[in-house]
């Protein structure tokens, strides 16, 4: 592999947030047979030859744990080269040293950005010429970017070039590993404009859909010298753009018309928005084109039904994934955050793995976890990955977040049939779980639980941070029980008997301690909130009489109070009900129109999933409740979109019976309120399709399956199916 480590360059520009470096190098192609450009950066780069971009990756080389790991790209640029060409490389600060994280830090991973490239030209006779970033003919040229950064956007002005600093060798620390990247973030479909409204001196565009993307500008359609675009998710009551929830992110593009009328597309930012406010120019057809962007993943899951709101919710969770699978599983795409949250990531991961083939995305993220964890003083997995450098655990232990390290590899095994991730992650899982054990007082120690301040079932209605700090135990410790189970089973699977025994013994003790600490004999819980019950039932309490009593109590709480769960418990709520004879209640909760509830959001025009159940309160105001002194309300957080699991695994009834769907279980739960339902999942074993309709107590079903399948009909009858398509009819 090309030794990119030898060619890093930067400039001595004093640190200015948002600065962009532009380097050029003359290239004579001669009789090139083939030309490849291998390139990476500490920062984000785009490379062009004579103005034409190499490849289609955005924010390359991508976001990894830079202190230890960097990825690179190799592009075939043969077709871009002329006899005499110019290679131009744009280098922004990106995640590496630009402004990033909810604390709005700069220079998280380094002081200045750096780039390294090797352009290799092979002639017909097999001889090769190399051009590298360290060659003497590389120059820095004045750039048009007065500012470029993820949160604030870009200020682009070719008529006002930025001061130039010559290239110098980069002397900062380099990560040990530089290797080809596994994923690509790129532009996807364009998003049509739904309406254009003139409001005084500004024009408001509505795309009818919240999404993560970019606006491209055609300067030929501008009737002024400069235009400004502001992005927002919703409107104020008076119809103006609402931006208070973006916090310190300006989410703004200021573009000065270029002389050559080349279309402009932001290079160093993206936005989460439904609306764009245009000022400085009048709107003209073709002036602005919106592009969706996300990390590339093949689409695998589909659902349709006649109930428009149930359909809309499915579409909303799908848009949540498109908007938040951007290099890392982000929490949201719009405000000054957009970080790789492990907790948000794993609650939505199973849903996401049906919507799209996410194996490569998680392969990359699990790698980010491993490298990040190496710099955690306790071997713990941080709530956001890539971590922001070396750290300890901190005051709040964030149990529920870092547990992605065990949950994701197990999910990938079940869904994609490969235990590669369990194997590769084994030491990392172990290190995380051993850290949990130390905090429980050591193996088979006195405590067997980790009681500490924690966020618990995050964003449970009516349960604030203060409450959860004292009452999170049953939620946070349920994650430990689950970790111990996964460790025990994984160790046994790989023949690591000693580990299997160790984790198995701790699992027993922690389960006992859990019951003692949190559950009363009558099946009620000391911390008596829904999330505690759901997590206990799902992970900690063995099936039996006590379990049944607790479940009965949860059911009566749900009948009385409706949904009151937060990020974690919501994932399991409807599945738990459907699996234990309460599918009617599960559908009631799905369809419930009051707050908190999914249909409540749909009734208020949501086109993605809200962060808070009551992001818009019943009185119509935005819930700007503060969190650490700043408001926290996003309209595009996919966590509550984990309801997608209910769609695929219960409504359509599709799930693996063996990892990777080599054997399948199809068990649809039906409800006449959905009308005709159909959907499919392209599993690794082939496409599985189900369709059903219920009328007057009669269900009609169509099933297509690629492998041996156990079918459970809605009346409880069990059939074994061989690959093929089938029709069924039954009374329910
Ligand atoms: C993020 C999350 C996250 C939470 C936990 C929020 O600011 O947006 O979704 O899980 O913090 O700390």
Concatenated DSSP letters for 306-359? S-HHHHHHHHHHHHHHHHHEESEEBS-SSSS---BBHHHHHHHHHHHHHHB--H
Radius of gyration of the chain (CA): 27
> Which residue matches tokens 């025994």?
501
- Which residues share a beta bridge with 583? none
Residue 590, pLDDT score: 98
Cα(613) to ligand 1 centroid in Å equals 14
- Nearest-atom index, ligand 1, CA of 627: 7
Angle at Cα 590 formed by Cα 699 and Cα 664, nearest 5°?
A: 55
Of the candidates 613, 666, 665, the residue with the CA atom closest to the CA atom of residue 639: 613
Place of tokens 């996003």: 634
Pocket perturbation via mutation, ligand 1, pick of 249, 458, 570, 628 by most ligand atoms within 8 A of CB = 458
662-681 pLDDT, tens per residue? 999 999 999 999 999 999 99
What is the structure's pLDDT at 1?
55
H-only helix segments in 519-581 = 530-535, 545-561, 567-579
Pick from 338, 340, 341, 402 the residue to mutate for probing ligand 1's pocket: most ligand atoms within 8 Å of its CB.
Answer: 341
In this structure, what is the dihedral angle of CA atoms 474, 476, 481, 483, given to the nearest 10 degrees?
170
Residue 240 tokens, joined: 């103006």
- Are the beta carbons of 232 and 205 closer than 8 angstroms? no
Q: Which residues in the chain land under pLDDT 50? A: none
The residues carrying an active-site annotation are: 337, 611
Ligand 1 center–CA 338 separation, angstroms: 10
pLDDT of residue 32: 83
| Whether residue 527 has its Cβ less than 6 Å from ligand 1 | no
Rounded CA-CA distance 362/432 in Å is 18
Q: Is residue 250 classed as helix, strand or coil in its secondary structure?
A: coil
CA 460 – CA 178 distance, rounded (Å): 42
- Tell me, using a 6 A CB cutoff, whether residue 344 lines ligand 1: yes
- The residue whose C-alpha atom lies closest to atom 2 belonging to ligand 1 is 331
- 341 close to ligand 1 (CB < 6 Angstrom): yes
Residue with CA at minimum distance from ligand 1 atom 6: 331
Rounded distance between C-alpha atoms, residue 174 and residue 607, angstroms: 42
Specify the ligand 1 atom closest to the Cα of 567.
10
Distance of alpha carbon 318 from alpha carbon 608, whole angstroms: 8
Q: Tell me, in angstroms, the distance from the centre of ligand 1 to residue 331's CA.
A: 7
Torsion of CA 467, 471, 473, 478, to 10 degrees: -70
Tokens 């309209």 belong to residue: 635
- Kindly report the number of other CB atoms within 10 A of residue 17's CB atom: 15
Alpha helices in 583-711 (DSSP H): 583-591, 598-603, 644-646
Question: Is residue 438 a contact partner of residue 431, using CB atoms and an 8 Å limit?
Answer: no
**DSSP characters over 88-143:** EEEEE-HHHHSSBTTTTBS-SS-SS-EEEEEEEEEETTS-EEEEETTSTT-EE---
Q: Is the CB of 337 under 6 A from ligand 1?
A: yes
Q: How far apart are CA 380 and CA 405, in angstroms?
A: 10
């Amino acid at each position: 592999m090309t030794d990119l480590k030898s060619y890093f360059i930067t400039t001595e520009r004093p640190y200015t947030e948002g600065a962009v470096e532009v380097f050029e190098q003359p290239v004579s192609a001669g009789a090139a047979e083939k030309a490849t450009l291998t390139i990476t950066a500490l920062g984000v780069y785009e490379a062009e030859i004579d103005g034409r971009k190499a490849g289609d990756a955005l924010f390359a080389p991508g976001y990894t744990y830079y202190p230890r790991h960097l990825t690179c790209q190799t592009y075939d640029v043969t077709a871009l080269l002329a006899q005499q060409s110019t290679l131009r490389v744009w280098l922004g600060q990106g995640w590496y040293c630009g402004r990033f994280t909810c604390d709005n830090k700069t220079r998280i991973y380094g002081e200045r950005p750096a780039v390294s490239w090797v352009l290799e030209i092979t002639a017909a006779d097999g001889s090769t010429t190399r051009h590298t970033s360290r060659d003497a003919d590389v120059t820095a040229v004045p750039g048009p970017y007065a500012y470029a950064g993820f949160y604030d956007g870009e200020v682009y002005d070719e008529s006002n070039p930025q001061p130039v600093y010559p290239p110098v060798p980069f002397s900062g620390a380099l990560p040990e590993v530089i290797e080809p990247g596994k994923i690509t973030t790129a532009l996807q479909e364009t998003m049509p404009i739904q309406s254009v409204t003139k409001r005084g001196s500004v024009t408001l565009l509505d795309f009818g859909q919240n999404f993560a993307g970019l606006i491209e500008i055609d300067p030929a359609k501008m009737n002024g010298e400069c235009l400004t675009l502001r992005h927002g998710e919703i409107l104020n009551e008076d119809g103006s753009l609402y931006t208070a929830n973006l916090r310190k992110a300006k989410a703004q593009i200021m573009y000065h018309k270029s002389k050559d009328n080349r279309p402009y597309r932001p290079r160093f930012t993206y936005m989460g928005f439904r609306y764009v406010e245009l000022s400085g120019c009048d709107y003209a057809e073709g002036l602005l084109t919106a592009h969706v962007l996300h990390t590339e993943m093949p689409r695998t899951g589909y659902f349709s039904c006649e109930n428009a709101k149930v359909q809309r919710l499915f579409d909303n969770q799908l848009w949540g994934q498109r908007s938040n699978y951007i290099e890392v599983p982000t929490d949201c795409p719009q405000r000054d955050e957009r970080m790789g949250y492990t907790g948000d990531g794993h609650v939505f991961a199973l849903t996401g793995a049906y919507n799209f083939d996410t194996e490569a995305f998680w392969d990359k993220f699990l790698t980010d976890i491993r490298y990040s964890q190496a710099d955690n003083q306790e071997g713990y997995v941080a709530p956001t990955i890539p971590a922001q450098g070396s750290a300890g655990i901190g005051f709040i232990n964030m149990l529920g977040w870092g547990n992605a390290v065990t949950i994701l590899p197990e999910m990938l095994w079940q869904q994609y049939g490969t235990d590669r991730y369990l194997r590769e992650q084994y030491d990392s899982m172990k290190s995380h779980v051993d850290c949990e054990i130390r905090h429980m007082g050591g193996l088979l120690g006195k405590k067997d639980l980790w009681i500490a301040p924690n966020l618990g079932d995050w964003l449970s209605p009516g349960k604030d941070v203060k409450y959860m700090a004292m009452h999170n135990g049953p939620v946070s410790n349920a994650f430990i029980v689950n970790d111990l189970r996964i460790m025990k089973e994984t160790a046994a699977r790989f023949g690591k008997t000693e580990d299997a025994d160790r984790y198995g013994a701790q699992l027993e003790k922690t389960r006992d301690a859990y019951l003692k600490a949190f559950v009363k004999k009558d099946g009620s819980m000391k911390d008596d909130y829904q999330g505690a019950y759901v997590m206990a039932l799902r992970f900690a309490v063995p099936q039996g009489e006590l379990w049944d009593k607790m479940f009965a109590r949860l059911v009566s709480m749900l009948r009385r109070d409706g949904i009151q769960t937060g990020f974690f418990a919501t994932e399991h709520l409807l599945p738990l009900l459907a699996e234990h004879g309460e599918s009617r209640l599960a559908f009631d909760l799905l369809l419930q129109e009051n707050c908190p509830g999914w249909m409540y959001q749909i009734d208020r025009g949501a086109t993605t999933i809200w962060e808070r159940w009551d992001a818009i309160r019943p009185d119509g105001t935005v819930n700007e409740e503060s969190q650490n002194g700043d408001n926290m309300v996003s309209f595009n957080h996919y966590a509550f979109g984990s309801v997608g699991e209910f769609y695929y695994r219960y409504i359509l009834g599709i799930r693996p019976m063996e990892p990777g769907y080599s054997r399948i279980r199809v068990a649809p739960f039906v409800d006449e309120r959905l009308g005709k339902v159909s959907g499919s999942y392209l599993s690794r074993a082939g496409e599985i399709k189900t369709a059903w309709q219920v009328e007057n107590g009669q269900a009609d079903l169509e099933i297509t399956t690629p492998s041996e399948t156990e079918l459970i009909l809605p009346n409880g009858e069990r059939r074994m199916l061989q690959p093929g398509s089938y029709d069924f009819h039954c009374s329910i």
